[in-house]
Amino acid sequence: MTSDHGHGHVHVNSDVNSDSDSRSHSYGRDGLWGRCVRFGRVLLPLVDEEAWRRGRRRERLGNWGVDIGEGERLIEILAALTAYAVVVDIAGSAASAAVLDTLPLGVVAEAATGKRDFELLAGLPDAFADGRDELAVKVFRLYVYRGERYSLRLWRMATELQYALTVLGGRSRVASPGCGHVFFWAAAAGLAGGAGVGAAV
């Protein structure tokens, strides 16, 4: 994620395993955003199946002066924003949850550090079903429009997202796994937000 702006500090609680939207999803923009949110929520728990990766990530967050809960929530919402933006770029008015499921993880990983931060805010829903998502997006927006050190913080969270996606892609037996695979892996791991449409593992 390329950053042209600054940011501000608001504390965000982390709750990566909850999924108030339920496992079903509809098609279209509303269904797409919900699917992207679930995508973001399961990424770090999947990465953390290798427990040492959690420890290393939290050590890095601490070294950067980032609260662990806030940092991991930012990574989660960055995943949702990035996936959403890429699908909309690719599919336009046909953007849907089904398109997300076919999107290669590598494309999202590249966009994590390739898109400008303000680009990730374009085209978002006007209202959010989950207040936590609305708060997280507001925090991201504040980070975009306030101080330099928060710009650096967003960049670092984007590199953590890219790393997480690269780790998951490297574990797959499929040559180029799609985002839909993530939901199957999450279901197999017993994480809320798993399953749904997408390619089989």
Distance CA 103, CA 53 (A): 25
Distance CA 186, CA 70 (A): 22
The reported pLDDT for the residue numbered 151 is 85
Which DSSP helix (H) or strand (E) runs through 47? Answer: helix 29-47
If you count them, how many residues does the chain have?
201
- Mean pLDDT, rounded, for 50-63: 97
CA angle 28, 29, 31 (to 5 degrees): 70
Distance CA 177, CA 13 (A): 30
Contact 91, 51 (CB under 8 A): no
Condensed to tens digits (0 to 9), the pLDDT of residues 79-114 reads 999 999 999 999 988 999 999 999 999 999 999 999
Condensed to tens digits (0 to 9), the pLDDT of residues 129-155 reads 778 888 888 888 888 888 678 888 999
pLDDT > 90 fraction of the chain, expressed in percent and rounded:
54
Domains of the chain: which residue ranges?
29-188
Q: Which amino acid is at 183?
A: F
Distance CA 52, CA 35 (A): 28
For every residue of 95-164, DSSP letters joined together read --HHHHHHSBHHHHHHHHHHSBGGGGGTT--SS-SSHHHHHHHHHHHHHHHBBHHHHHHHHHHHHHHHHH
Sign, CA torsion 4/112/39/54 = negative
Contact 14, 69 (CB under 8 A): yes
Question: Mean pLDDT of all residues in the chain?
Answer: 81
The reported pLDDT for the residue numbered 8 is 35
